[in-house]
Amino acid sequence: MLKPGATIGILGGGQLGRMVASAAARLGFDAHIYTDEEDSPASRVAARTTVASFDDEAALANFAAVVDVVTTEFENVPAHSAEALVASGALVRPGANALAIAQDRVLEKRFLNEAGVATTPYAAIESLGDLEAALQGVTPPAILKTRRMGYDGKGQARLASTDDATPAWEAIGAQPAILEAMVPFEREISVIAARGADGSFAAFDPPDNTHESGILRVSRAPSTLPPHILEDAIAATRRVADALDYVGVLTVEFFVLRDGRLLANEMAPRVHNSGHWTEAACVTSQFEQHVRAIAGWPLGPTDRFARAEMHNLIGADMDDVPALIADPDVRLTLYGKRETRDGRKMGHFTRLVR
């Protein structure tokens, strides 16, 4: 169990790292950010920052030597960086196995299925020939995604028919990919849960999520789905966490089909955009929960004391800030990004419904 005053190392300098760093500080920890970006959002709320490449093994070793635990705010930390940290004696939570699986969509689907969690039909694609063959089994409409490094709808192409194979393959840059069937789902939900170092487990109430252009727009908690479906989703998430011997907050996104069947869409080995409302509506936020877990502390309560609706502020949504700060039911969080760009997540707000 880390003592107050210990240092939480965070790989990545974005908004998730920023919010984890603030939560760590509230519990008396120092945050130390490792990022390749100068003046990152997270570094501006952290005690210390190392600006270095994720390939810089000397910098990673120095980082490992001065922090008490290392966590990540994004799943695309190079596997060799996480391994270099472990080799330097760092306690990495969640572990390198969770990162390796989450950063490869094929490994992820395979792992989920092996953990007894259903997913959409898929096929691993290494070439245009693979894609053409796979389209016989995974029939369009389908979506082709790069195996690695995709997020927020980037690195994806839709296929309406088998004729789209070549343009889709070119659109994603002709690289290792996964072909996924587009299932006619009724709802998207996510489970934001934590597993403690002692194997304890706690989930927040799963929210209903709405995406636009591949980017999360709104999460509404709690989901209005029947409780037994939500319990199934939480149980599936627990199987995933246990199978990984996971420590920290883990998120699994699910499609819910008309018949109530759940298909896991993807997992994120970290706090998640669809859990930001927990900061406004729960005693323990997902950020504090993650810090508690990786520090070896007991997990906090996940009770929700209000209904909550979290909206992302993307690009020009920043123009809404003057109206939002005058709205008494809104709790606003901005990420301190210097430049507003189309499609860029600039902040979010949570509206409490009491």
Nearest approach, Cβ of residue 6 and its own copies (Å): 11
Nearest approach, Cβ of residue 115 and its own copies (Å): 29
* Closer residue to its own copies, CB minimum distance, 66 or 283: 283
* Closer residue to its own copies, CB minimum distance, 46 or 172: 46
Residues that bind its own copies (CB under 8 A): 1, 4-5, 18, 21-22, 25-30, 43-47, 280, 283, 292, 297-298, 300-301, 303, 305-306, 318, 321-322, 325-326, 328-329, 331-336, 338, 347, 352, 354
Nearest approach, Cβ of residue 30 and its own copies (Å): 6
72 backbone dihedrals φ, ψ, rounded to 5°: -130, 150
* Closer residue to its own copies, CB minimum distance, 185 or 297: 297
CB 275 within 8 A of CB 191: no
DSSP assignment string, 301-321 = P--BSSEEEEEEEEGGGGGGH
33 backbone dihedrals φ, ψ, rounded to 5°: -90, 135
Q: Identify the helix (H) or strand (E) that includes residue 83.
A: helix 79-87
Q: Identify the helix (H) or strand (E) that includes residue 5.
A: none
User: Rounded distance, CA 47 to CA 66, Å?
Assistant: 12
* Closer residue to its own copies, CB minimum distance, 47 or 61: 47
Nearest approach, Cβ of residue 328 and its own copies (Å): 4
CA proximity to 36, closest of 46, 51, 21: 51
Nearest approach, Cβ of residue 65 and its own copies (Å): 19
Amino acid making up residue 128: L
Nearest approach, Cβ of residue 195 and its own copies (Å): 17
Q: What is the DSSP letter of 300?
A: P
CB 220 within 8 A of CB 205: no
Tell me the residue length of the chain. 354
* Closer residue to its own copies, CB minimum distance, 118 or 306: 306
- Find the largest Cα–Cα distance for the chain: 59
* Closer residue to its own copies, CB minimum distance, 87 or 283: 283
* Closer residue to its own copies, CB minimum distance, 67 or 135: 67
Nearest approach, Cβ of residue 20 and its own copies (Å): 13
CA angle 24, 191, 4 (to 5 degrees): 15
